[in-house]
């Protein structure tokens, strides 16, 4: 079969590297191609039509790399383009919203699920829609946490200022008695220690990165596409933006050197 083909992943920038790290951990035999569209980051405040256009440009490039599956490792692009992309491309396309939703449904005991994400992700209501499609009786409480992405991009993960921002944004959620909190942005797992500290130990954090890698594993197995050879896997990284900044963030987060190339999109 075509199981030796790579899996394609992309994000507006470095956030999708949280999914890559989970792919390394949960599917260590898979070859990967990652695209970070840092030159046009962030996507979160762009019109959905433009996010779809960017998404299709990147997916066309990934198809040229002969990938067997594409993971949209970005909540905004998932919300804006997953449905059309799934219909347009002849390979499996996986977003990050349904895996996090399903994990939250499985984890909650109180039936009250919190979601934090960018403003666009919260405004589209994509998590609530996905959760209610499966179980309409659950309650979903959403909170936009705009500044969290910048904290991650600035690598400001545990300063008093960072803690103050996280406390300020999570305060409304803490009165909601939820027992599960979805990190609805691929940047947020990098900030998860601080989020857990502020949310309290009784709240279970759901990382869309971790859950997406897990569902990718199931879908590959279901289609008989798991890479079962024992050769060292090849991981290729592309950025549309500054290569030095991308390399620094990626190597720190992934804890290994990466092979990075520049990519120019139309």
Q: Rule CB under 8 A: which residues touch a copy of itself?
A: 22, 26-29, 98, 102-103, 105-106, 133-137, 210-211, 213-215, 217-219, 221-222, 226, 228, 230
Judged by CB, which is closer to a copy of itself: 37, or 211? 211
Judged by CB, which is closer to a copy of itself: 9, or 166? 9
Minimum CB distance to a copy of itself, residue 95 (Å): 12
Minimum CB distance to a copy of itself, residue 247 (Å): 26
Judged by CB, which is closer to a copy of itself: 11, or 30? 30
202 annotated as a binding-site residue: no
Minimum CB distance to a copy of itself, residue 240 (Å): 31
Between CA 192 and CA 215 the distance in angstroms is 21
Between CA 56 and CA 201 the distance in angstroms is 40
Judged by CB, which is closer to a copy of itself: 103, or 162? 103
**Nearest one of 194, 254, 257, 232 to 31, comparing CA atoms:** 232
CB under 8 A, 24+ apart: contacts of 126-132: 126/75, 126/78, 126/79, 126/97, 127/97, 127/100, 127/101, 127/182, 127/184, 130/97, 130/98, 130/101, 131/101, 131/104, 131/105
36 annotated as a binding-site residue: no
Minimum CB distance to a copy of itself, residue 23 (Å): 11
**Phi-psi label, residue 177: left if phi above 0, alpha if psi -120 to 50, beta otherwise:** left
186 annotated as a binding-site residue: yes
Judged by CB, which is closer to a copy of itself: 40, or 214? 214
Q: What is the CA radius of gyration of the chain?
A: 18
187 annotated as a binding-site residue: yes
Between CA 142 and CA 127 the distance in angstroms is 9
Q: Which of 7, 27, 72, 74 is catalytic?
A: 74
Q: Which of 72, 185, 195, 216 is catalytic?
A: 185
Between CA 98 and CA 159 the distance in angstroms is 32
Q: How many CB atoms neighbour CB 56 within 10 A?
A: 15
Minimum CB distance to a copy of itself, residue 164 (Å): 29
Q: Is 74 a catalytic residue?
A: yes
34 annotated as a binding-site residue: no
Provide φ and ψ at 211, rounded to 5°.
Answer: -70, -35
- For residue 233, what are the CA distances in angstroms to 4, 196, 237? 9, 33, 13
76 annotated as a binding-site residue: yes
Binding site per annotation, positions for substrate: 11-12, 43-44, 75-76, 186-187
Binding site per annotation, positions: 11-12, 43-44, 75-76, 186-187
Residues tagged active-site: 74, 185
């Amino acid at each position: 079969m075509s199981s030796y083909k790579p899996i394609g992943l992309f994000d507006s920038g470095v956030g999708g590297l949280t999914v890559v790290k989970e792919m390394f951990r949960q599917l260590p035999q898979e070859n990967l191609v990652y695209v970070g569209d840092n030159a046009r980051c962030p996507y979160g405040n762009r019109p959905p039509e433009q996010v779809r256009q960017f998404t299709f440009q990147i997916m066309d490039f990934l198809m040229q790399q002969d990938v067997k599956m594409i993971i949209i490792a970005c909540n905004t692009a998932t919300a804006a383009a997953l449905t059309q992309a799934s219909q347009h491309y002849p390979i499996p396309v996986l977003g990050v919203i349904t895996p996090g939703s399903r994990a939250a449904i499985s984890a909650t005991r109180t039936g009250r699920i919190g979601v934090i994400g960018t403003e666009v992700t919260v405004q589209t209501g994509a998590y609530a829609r996905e959760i209610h499609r499966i179980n309409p009786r659950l309650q979903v409480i959403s909170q936009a946490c705009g500044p969290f992405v910048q904290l991650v991009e600035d690598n400001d993960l545990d300063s008093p200022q960072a803690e103050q921002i996280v406390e300020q944004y999570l305060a409304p959620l803490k009165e909601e008695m939820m027992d599960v909190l979805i990190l609805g942005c691929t940047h947020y797992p990098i900030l998860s220690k601080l989020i857990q500290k502020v949310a309290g130990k009784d709240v279970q954090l759901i990382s869309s990165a971790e859950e997406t890698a897990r569902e990718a594993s199931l879908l590959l197995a279901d289609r008989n596409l798991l890479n079962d050879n024992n050769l060292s896997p090849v991981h290729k990284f592309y950025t549309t933006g500054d290569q030095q900044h991308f390399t620094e963030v990626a190597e720190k987060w992934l804890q290994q050197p990466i092979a990075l190339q520049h990519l120019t999109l139309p």
